[in-house]
Each structure stands twice: as structure tokens, then as C-alpha cells.
Structure 1
Amino acid sequence: MNIYPNHSAIDTDLLQCLGIPATATVALNLTEPELTQLALDGGEGVLTEAGVLMCDTGKFTGRSPKDKFIVRDALTEDTVWWGPVNQPIEPEQFDHLHRRMLASLEGRSVFVRYVKAGADPRYAINIAVINEYAWHNLFCHNLFIETSEAERADFKPDWTILNLPGFQADPATDGTRQGNFTIINFSKRVILIGGTGYAGEMKKGIFSVLNLTLPRKGVLSMHCSANVGKAGDTALFFGLSGTGKTTLSTDPERELIGDDEHGWSDQVFNFEGGCYAKVVNLSAEHEPEIYGAIRPGAVLENTRFIPDSRIVDYADQSVTENTRTAYPLHYIANRANPSVGPVPRNIFFLTADAFGVLPPIAKLTVEQAMYYFLSGYTAKLAGTEVGVKEPVPTFSACFGAAFLPLHPFEYAGLLGQHLKASDVPVWLVNTGWTGGSFGTGHRMKLAHTRAVIRGALSGVLDRVEYQTLQPFGLQVPMACPGIPEELLNPRQTWRNRADYDDTATRLMRAFQENYETYHNAAGQGVEEPSFA
């Protein structure tokens, strides 16, 4: 086996144990400039005028949740919440596919990297990543936590990712739905990814792993961003794509802990070593920290240039709306180092409510917090068809249903325990519409959203009067610096109050119907969390 650059006999033994063929050439733990140049040499991408590697992910410009599987065996049979999110595949099918993927590396070059996930050493896992593409290896360098030279000298992986975008499964024999796949084997601690160039499958694969292993240790795994103020006041931001999670947590007045995946034990800790931010319509004016982090060593996905230039056009959505960048955390000047913080003092549930019936901010009880956590609500627009303006409610349990191997009740129950133990306030924040639904009302101003979050973080909202908003039973502040009082109660912003009542009732009914899907599908000994 040809391994470069410097390596030891330990590396040779490890790579052999990982199943890499003796005829393969292995590029081990290369630097950012080396990986960037090899990606360019291999035609994997091009450079922007700022010297940033820009790559296309091919056919798949996002995750493919219908093609994600978990091996069903003695370890997972009675543990995993099987269904559309967690589809089973047999151990024999996994083994057959794994052997074929490794055999396809005969005589080829691969990129291997030793990384970690988990900024708290008590819960960190070592990961060996095997990539077909140089830019995917650079992505892993940016998104996972880098190991030190001493750690690499005696590296023992807890998990392995084998990612070969050029490899296609045979559904007839491999048990997949189509040629692309992501398969997690908890017994062998291996993740297989093939047939897709979308790099986010790797980070979300490890997130799914931690979402099974950490709750069993009493650690709440969370799909959220986190930052911390100068007084050590940690804040968590939960929210689905498009709700402002990354934007609102990247605050020049607070240190960023991380933008996507965290654990809550006796502290909050980041799972990752970097950020994977959406860049559609990105500007230096509105998101200066993210804009400034896109520099050599970072990766851009599926963006395009302004014609006759190498300047990125962030408004161009011709490939996908899901254009992204991956950069290491140290590219954000105002970051927490290490990526940990005290237990949270404030938690924000972000929702882009296109129905326009939720308030800019509301304070939740513990019971409401668990309910809204289970709901994971936002609203998406119906699409681009002429005349279609009705929003579509979207629910994703715990704000990350696609990554939850366990039943949502298990995560909600653990959240409830943490909330009762820490007495942390939880806030529901609407970054969506006000004054009416989409097509009638208008989008909440970012300045107003920042104002209500500052009010919560500063304690100002602890000293104001509240009113109850029906039919949701939400406690809404009657005043907040930086936002007009008439905006705080959404019902008052609608011209026709009866229309507001009808729309709010319909949304409340959608919440109730969604909750019933979790209640009815519990089973497997999973208890419904207590809301009392």
C-alpha cells in the first residue's frame, strides 16, 4: 500500500484493518492547500476570485432521506424507531455492499482523514473518513474536529465513514431503493455512502450516530446552534432550514459555540469543528461573519459566478436553492474556544410561520416547550405555481426528525428533565410572516427578530407584562425595546380579525394532528413524556 505523506507502521496496520486494498494509494491527513490543489488537478472544482474552492455535488444537491438505512440486527432491533425515517436493511446486504465498495478501490487513490466529533472529550468519538474525492476530504477537515499530531500517532477509530460518490448500488441485490445510499451499521460502527456527491450526508450520518448513543448516556443531542455571552450565558437556537438558526446565532456581540449540532450534559458542547452554512442571497452587509469566513480553505457548493468573472453570484439559484459553504470554526473570529459553554440560560425555538399567526416572541412553559419541541414546526410556501399562495405546515420532530434513530418521545422526555433541572426559559420566535399569511402579510424584519432575542437575553422581557394569545395559550410580552408594540400581538396586525382566528385555529388543528402521529406510533416500550 502506497501511503503519503509521512506515516507510521500503525497507520499501515490501521488502513489495512479498514479494508483498503494493498494496491490502493492513500493520501493521509493532507493539508487544506494540498487537498485544494488535488481537487483542482482532478477536475473536482474551480477557484473563485478569492481563492476558494467551488464544487458541484452532481445530481443530488441535498440529502436523500428516502435512501438512508440502518442495519437491523440484535443491537438495533428493539432500539431504533423503525419507519419512513429509519428504514431497515439486513446485515448480509450491508456486508455484501461493503465488500464491493472496498474492492472497487483496487489500484485507485483515496483520501483518508483522522478526525473527531464532540468537543467534550468525555463523549468524543474518533472517526476515520475514507473519501473518493479530495474536496470531500477537505469538507471533513472543515466540518469535523481536527486531531492533534499526538492523537494521530496512535489513532484508533470508533467509527468509519466510507464515501464513494462514483459507486452505484444494485437495488436488486443490495437492498437499496436506487443507486445512491447512506447506510449506518451500529454494530460494526461503519457508515457507507455511495452514489451521491452531496457532502452533507457525512456530517449528518455522524449526527445520527450521536443521536442514538448520547441519549443513552443522559446527554441530550440537539439539532441547534449555540452561542455564549460575555457573562457565560449560553443560548440555544433550534430551527429548521430557512428559519434563521445560523444567522441569529452568529452574533458579533456573542461567541459562537457552533451552528448546527450540540450535546447538553452538564455543559453545552459542539459536535463539530466547523460550519455548513447556506449562502443563498448571502451579503457582507447582512451576514458579515459568514461572508468573511468564505476564504481559502473553505468550500463552496453549487454556486455560480457573475458572467465573465470569478466572482460568486450568491443570488444565483440556477443549480439549487441549497447553495452552501463549509468552513472551520476558527474562520469565525468571535468564537468560543474550545467549543463548549455552560448549561443554557435561554433557548429559542425558531419558526418561519408563513401563516402569520404566531407572535414575534412568546415565553413557553416547560410543558409547551416539550410540545413545540416535539412538533418542530415551520411553514413552507406552496411553490411557484401561479395562483398558489397557501402556506404548507411542516413538522419535523425535535427540529431534526430525519436524524433521529430513537422515538421523538425519548428526546422530548430528556429535554423536559433538563428544563426542570435548570429552570431555563424557552422562547418561541417567529421569523416568518406578520400582518397576514404569505401573499397578504409581510416577512418579519430581521432587525425586529434581533430585538426580541436581545430582549430575552438581556432579561428585559422578564420585567414586562404579558398577555395570553389564543388559541395557542401563548404568553406574549406587551412591550420590547426595538420593536413596535402593535407587532407583538399578531392578531392586532391583521385587518380582518376573524380571518386571523380561522387561520390560527387551522394551524392549531394541524399541530394536534401531527402530535397524534407520534402518540399513535410510540410502541416498543417508549413512554409518552409527562407534560405535567
Structure 2
Amino acid sequence: MRRSTTSLPDLSYLKLDRARNVFFQLTPAELVDEALQRKEGVLADTGALAIDTGEFTGRSPKDRFIVDDEITHDTVWWGKVNIKFDAPKFDALFDKVTAYLAGKDVFVRDSSACANEKYHIDIRVVTETAYQNLFVHHLFLRPEVADPDATPEWTIIAAPGFKADPAIDGTRQHNFSIINFTKKMILIGGTGYTGEIKKGIFSVLNFILPHDKKVLSMHCSANTGVKGDTAIFFGLSGTGKTTLSADPDRSLIGDDEHGWSDYTIFNFEGGCYAKCIDLTQEREPQIFNAIKFGSLLENINFIKGTRTVNFSNIDKTENTRVAYPLHNIHNAVSPSIGDSPKNIFFLTADAFGILPPVSKLSAEQAMYHFISGYTAKVAGTEAGITEPNATFSACFGEAFLPLNPVTYAGLLGNKIRKHKVKVWLINTGWTGGPYGTGNRIKLSYTRAMIAAALSGQLDNVNYAEHPVFNLMMPQTCPNVPDNLLNPRSTWANPNTYDERANDLALLFIKNFEQYAPFCKAEIINAAPNVVESGLVT
């Protein structure tokens, strides 16, 4: 067995002592070298390793399972998101995966999650490929010295080359990601998409922290100002969560996953996994400049005849990604912890052009919109979508929530009230009409609205109430045209706006029906109004 350090962890408890070579805790440079030797990828002209993840260029939510056992049976919110998996089937599949890895090279990395030591968990990740291990180095927290004799709390095994037999193994198809809370293990197979590793641990923390520790786990980015004023940003993919939190005038705590304890916000991760579609140095300089040697580019295309990335090319996928350690962002906070937030931003890319570009929410409205988790996909982004398509993802991360979303919303509401947090709904989508008719709200205007909220410049301006969604809209905002702030005034036909606002309100109400039985009246009453078209003034 080839050794990568003077000592190696004993992998017999994982039945991996039969592996041909064990590469333990390799440096990024060593992992890049191994990936190149194994033809897993090539170097871009920035020095970043560019790889393709194969068949899957994104997560496969229908193939994510949780083992149904004593810990999870009465606590997990079972259904389309959390799919039950039999414990005996898990054990049998574990044996098959470890048998598959016998005689192969494996890469092992010890790392951790949660920058707040009080909630810290140790993780051992075993991967079949070098590039997956490089991803783990970037995205999880890195110990100063790894102890091969330590016993990790959680273990992940990722074997993209192993394909399950659904008829025998109990999976839906040949790929799978299965969480076992009793064995504290995540088993991933049939997919090389690295996001399955990251989101597996996020799902674990979304169970452990709220259920056992009463800590709110959040799918959000976070940054802090020079005075220590923390802000957090919730939003689904494409709404600007990573872009807007990477502010050169504020320090980045993290771009995706955080916990909110009594008085602190803390990052779960040690790095960033940013979408890089249409990335430019002008629009997103911090992310662009973070792509250097050791960074991991996924499913990108090069400009023909060069090793220069063409970030606008989406021939492989729109979900092009780059992974890098947090310290690649020059003003990142270390350790990545901040005070409880003073401002919370819910980001939505409303392709219907209905929601205001900025509005202020009450605690009850915040809980309602948090549970709703609304954005809209635009025509052309997915096959079969010819007009804007409303998307609701509870808590802006439904796919990773083992518990009922109302549980997380309750924790959020309590913290908003306790810390007197201001909550803002920011529409980064369309104005003047829906996608195809209106225009995308300029990023410079969105940044100006967020800056005004953070600086307190929106605290003492006049507000008007949106007649359908009951949102409080500022009537002026520095560096933003006044007429943009009320979306109805930007439409050529206000009556058409009223009709479309009504339609969107009905979609909100219909979606919320699944949560209403678990909610208090104050949250249900924060729903939008449904009015007769043409009567809104």
C-alpha cells in the first residue's frame, strides 16, 4: 500500500483496508497532480483544475434518501424531499460499495464543519477521485494537523464509478445519496457531482442543530461591515446570494451555509462553491479573482483553441461551478463567525415582474416568505419552459431540510423578535413586465438598495403598502429612480399588472396550503390578498 503520509488512518471499520493505495490528507497541489495524472481534468490558464462531473452536472433530489430508523422515524418530515430508505438495504449497499473500492486507490481527508467550536463536527471523507478530495479540502473546515488515529463523528464515502441496481439495492436508479443518522454515515454512488458531498453534510446539520441544539441552520450567505454589523442573504440559485454577499466594502463570513446560535452567526464551511455562469471580473471581481491554482472548475468550456474559460458557454450545463477555499476571498473573516444579524435579505428573481425591488417585512411576513421560499425560473433556462415558472422552495433550501419547514421558520421568527432584526425582500428579477416584456433590474440598483438598507437610509423614508402582497415599499431610495420602487407604475398597463399580481398571489396561497396546518394564525394571516382584477389602486 502506497503511503501519502508517515501514518494512515485505520480504515478497517469502513471495510476499506483492502484498498490498493490510500492517499491521506494530500495537499491541494498534490491532489491537482494526482488528478492530472489520472486524466480527471486539465489546467485552465489561471492554474485552476477544470473537470467534468460526468453524467450528473447537478444534484439529483429524487435520489436522496434518509434511512428510516429509531432516530428519524418520528422526527423527519417524510415525503417528496425526504425519501425513506430501509436500514438493511443501506447495510447491503454499503458492503457492495466497499467491495467495489477494494483494490482501488482511495483518497481520504479528515475535516470538519461549523466554525463555532460549540457545534463543531468532525468528518472523514473517502473519495474515489482526486478532484472530489480537492473539493472536500476547499469546502469543509481544514484542521491544522490531521490525526490519523482520531475517530471521526461522521463519515462520507463517495464512489462515482459504482452504479446501484435499483431492483436489488432499493434505489430509484443507479445513482444515490443516502444519509444514515444512526451510523453517522453518508453513502454516495453513481454521480461525480461534488455538490452531493457538500449538501449531504448540510442536510445532517439541518437535522442536528435545530432538533438537538435549537440552533437555526440556514441556506444563506453572510457578511459583516466595519462596525461588526452582520447581514445575511437568503435566496435560491440565480437570485444573487453569492454575488451580493461578496461585497468589497464588507467582509465575507460565508457564501452558502450558516448557523444562528443565541448571539452569533457561524459558517458551516471552509470555502465557497459559486455558480460561474456569465462570470466577469467587472461584475463579480471577488469571485473572478478567487479562481487561481488549486481552485476547482466544474463543467465549464474553454474558448476554442485556448485554456481560457468561456464563462458564457453553457453547452454542458447552466450549473457551471467553481470551488475554492474561503481565504481566496481577500477580505474573508477568520474564523468565519459574526454577531447576530441586524439585517436579513430575502432574494427573489421574480420573472413575473410583480414584487417590488425592495420592501420591508414584519416578523410574521418574514416567516411566511421564509416558508414560501419563492423565486421564478425564466423561459429558456430549462427544456419545456416557455414562460416564467414560479418556484417555491421552503426556507430557500427545501431539498436539504429533514424537518418540517415550519420548525425552521419558528426559530427564525423568535430570533428576529429577540434581536430586533430588520427583514427585507429584494427582487433581483424583472420590472416593467414579465420576462420577455420587462427588463431585469440592474445589479447597480440592487446593490444601492441593499447599501441603503444596511446604512439605515431606508429607516426614515415614507413607505407605501403593496395592495396585494401587503409589503411596505420605500418611496425613495438613494441612487435608485423613484418610479422603479413601485412595480405597478413601471408597467405599460396597470390593469394587466393587477391581474398578474393576483395570479402570483394565488400561487403563493396554493403553495402554502401544505404548511398552513402546522402554522399559527399570525403566519397564515401574512399571506397576500386576492382581489378582483382592475380594482387595485
Task: Tell me whether 19-28 or 228-237 shows the greater mean CA deviation.
Answer: 19-28
Residue 369 (str. 1) matches residue 366 (str. 2): yes
Identical positions, percent: 57
Give per-residue Cα distances to partners, 1:41-64, cap 9 Å, x unaligned. Answer: 001001111211000000100000
| Cross-structure match for 2:298 | 301
User: 2: CA distance between counterparts of 1:168 and 1:3?
Assistant: 28
Count of matched residue pairs? 522
Question: Match for 2:396 among 394, 399, 403?
Answer: 399
| Cross-structure match for 1:140 | 136
| Cross-structure match for 1:343 | 340
1:529 offset after TM fit, Å? 7.8
Could you tell me whether the CA contact under 8 Å between 1:409 and 1:528 is conserved in 2? Answer: no
User: 1: CA distance between counterparts of 2:351 and 2:76?
Assistant: 33
| Cross-structure match for 1:3 | 3
1:463 offset after TM fit, Å? 1.3
User: 2: CA distance between counterparts of 1:202 and 1:418?
Assistant: 30
Could you tell me whether the CA contact under 8 Å between 2:162 and 2:189 is conserved in 1? Answer: yes
Task: Give secondary structure in 1 for the equivalent of 2:91.
Answer: helix
The one-letter code matched in structure 1 to 2:161 is G
| Cross-structure match for 2:199 | 204
The one-letter code matched in structure 2 to 1:55 is I
| Cross-structure match for 2:35 | 39
Task: Give secondary structure in 2 for the equivalent of 1:146.
Answer: coil
| Cross-structure match for 1:319 | 316
Give per-residue Cα distances to partners, 1:284-318, cap 9 Å, x unaligned. Answer: 11111000000001000001111111111111111
User: 2: CA distance between counterparts of 1:385 and 1:455?
Assistant: 35
User: 2: CA distance between counterparts of 1:18 and 1:490?
Assistant: 57
User: 2: CA distance between counterparts of 1:334 and 1:277?
Assistant: 17
| Cross-structure match for 2:491 | 494
The one-letter code matched in structure 1 to 2:163 is Q
User: 2: CA distance between counterparts of 1:307 and 1:4?
Assistant: 37
Residue 52 (str. 1) matches residue 48 (str. 2): yes
Residue 186 (str. 1) matches residue 181 (str. 2): yes
The one-letter code matched in structure 1 to 2:5 is P
Residue 101 (str. 1) matches residue 97 (str. 2): yes
Contiguous gaps of at least 5 residues in structure 1: none
The one-letter code matched in structure 2 to 1:189 is K
Task: Give secondary structure in 2 for the equivalent of 1:344.
Answer: coil
Cα distance, 1:154–1:231 mapped onto 2, change above 3 Å: farther
Could you tell me whether the CA contact under 8 Å between 2:19 and 2:106 is conserved in 1? Answer: no
Task: Give secondary structure in 2 for the equivalent of 1:226.
Answer: strand
Residue 68 (str. 1) matches residue 64 (str. 2): yes
Could you tell me whether the CA contact under 8 Å between 2:19 and 2:105 is conserved in 1? Answer: no
1:152 offset after TM fit, Å? 2.5
Contiguous gaps of at least 5 residues in structure 2: 526-537
| Cross-structure match for 2:154 | 159
1:18 offset after TM fit, Å? 2.7
Give per-residue Cα distances to partners, 1:39-96, cap 9 Å, x unaligned. Answer: 0000100111121100000010000000000000111000100001000010000000
The one-letter code matched in structure 1 to 2:455 is S
Give per-residue Cα distances to partners, 1:500-532, cap 9 Å, x unaligned. Answer: 100001101100000002235x5xxxx658538
Structure 2 length-normalised TM: 0.95
The one-letter code matched in structure 1 to 2:186 is I
1:389 offset after TM fit, Å? 5.0
| 1:473-484 aligned within 5 A | 473-484=470-481
1:458 offset after TM fit, Å? 0.2
Give per-residue Cα distances to partners, 1:403-432, cap 9 Å, x unaligned. Answer: 000011101111111111111000000000
Cα distance, 1:142–1:463 mapped onto 2, change above 3 Å: same
Question: Match for 1:226 among 219, 222, 226?
Answer: 222
User: 2: CA distance between counterparts of 1:507 and 1:12?
Assistant: 55
1:24 offset after TM fit, Å? 3.0
The one-letter code matched in structure 2 to 1:166 is G
Could you tell me whether the CA contact under 8 Å between 2:273 and 2:322 is conserved in 1? Answer: yes
User: 1: CA distance between counterparts of 2:14 and 2:173?
Assistant: 26
User: 1: CA distance between counterparts of 2:84 and 2:9?
Assistant: 34
Cα distance, 1:529–1:43 mapped onto 2, change above 3 Å: farther
| Cross-structure match for 2:531 | none
Task: Give secondary structure in 2 for the equivalent of 1:483.
Answer: coil
Task: Give secondary structure in 1 for the equivalent of 2:218.
Answer: strand
Residue 284 (str. 1) matches residue 281 (str. 2): yes
Could you tell me whether the CA contact under 8 Å between 2:9 and 2:148 is conserved in 1? Answer: no
- Compute the RMSD of aligned alpha carbons: 1.5
1:384 offset after TM fit, Å? 6.7
User: 2: CA distance between counterparts of 1:23 and 1:511?
Assistant: 52
| Cross-structure match for 1:123 | 119
User: 2: CA distance between counterparts of 1:153 and 1:390?
Assistant: 54
Cα distance, 1:324–1:387 mapped onto 2, change above 3 Å: closer
Question: Match for 2:23 among 21, 27, 30?
Answer: 27
Cα distance, 1:426–1:21 mapped onto 2, change above 3 Å: same
Structure 1 length-normalised TM: 0.96
Task: Tell me whether 21-30 or 410-419 shows the greater mean CA deviation.
Answer: 21-30
